[in-house]
Homo-oligomer: A and B are copies of this chain.
Amino acid sequence: MAKYMTLLWGSGSPPCWRVMIALEEKNLQGYNQKLLSLEKLEHKSKELLAINPRGQLPTFKHGDNVLSESYAVCFYLESQFKSQGTKLIPDGPAEQALMYQRMFEGLTFYEKLNVRNKEALVTELRLWEGYLQKLGSGSYLAGPSFTLADVVVFPTVGTVFRFGLSPERYPKLGEYHNLLKERPSIRASWPPHWLESPKGLDTLKDI
């Protein structure tokens, strides 16, 4: 199936990373892909705008189906390949409720990252630190299994640590980051330009 799939993506973009993690978890390696340069505005090219009027990355094609919203791609892949690879939506009502809740709070977390309002970001980070603390060591975001909540939120967590967040000040987030960064799907999709220069900026080191 993966040969009928194409992903247009940008390196270090959390929405693109979500889709790449989902593809790995569903054993869909071998899809076609094109890495576009966000700096060169290649995502605003005529070619891309023709299939995606908003000119966003990721843009994902599966046969004739085109999706450009990262959450939409994740839900679609889980639904279309339910019995393949990792089961990303748990069955139990309580774990499922928590998973959906955290997934959508994840949009706020990502947004707070973008606005660069440090106070709002600190409030947000403390909320997530508290969520992880409540679940106990070694837990994923919605409980004992890796779910869609981790698929969509991990790229934001990876980004805050890339920008120097202190694991001493946010120990539970640090532990979660360490646990997940060794996961095969996440290693396989790690942003290539982060691999090239392993040290990121330090903009978040003091918060």
Q: Cβ of A73: which chain B residues have Cβ within 8 Å of it?
A: 100
Q: Cβ of A72: which chain B residues have Cβ within 8 Å of it?
A: 97, 100-101, 103-104
Query: Which of the four size classes fits the interface of chain A?
Result: 20 to 34
Q: Cβ of A54: which chain B residues have Cβ within 8 Å of it?
A: 105, 108, 127
Q: Does A41 contact B (CB under 8 A)?
A: no
Per-residue contact bits, chain A 112-140, to B (CB 8 Å; 1 contact, 0 not): 00000000000000010000000000000
Question: Judging by beta carbons under 8 Å apart, are A104 and B65 in contact?
Answer: no
Given known A79-B96, A97-B76, A127-B53, contact A104–B71 (CB-CB < 8 A)? yes
Most buried by B among A97, A108, A127: A97
Question: Judging by beta carbons under 8 Å apart, are A104 and B53 in contact?
Answer: no
Chain A positions within 8 Å of B, measured between CB atoms, are 53-54, 62-73, 75-76, 79-80, 89, 93-94, 96-98, 100-101, 103-105, 107-108, 127
Q: List 21 A-B contacts (CB under 8 A).
A: A53-B127, A54-B105, A54-B127, A62-B97, A64-B94, A65-B97, A65-B98, A67-B97, A67-B100, A69-B101, A69-B103, A69-B104, A69-B105, A72-B97, A72-B103, A75-B100, A76-B96, A76-B97, A76-B100, A79-B96, A80-B96
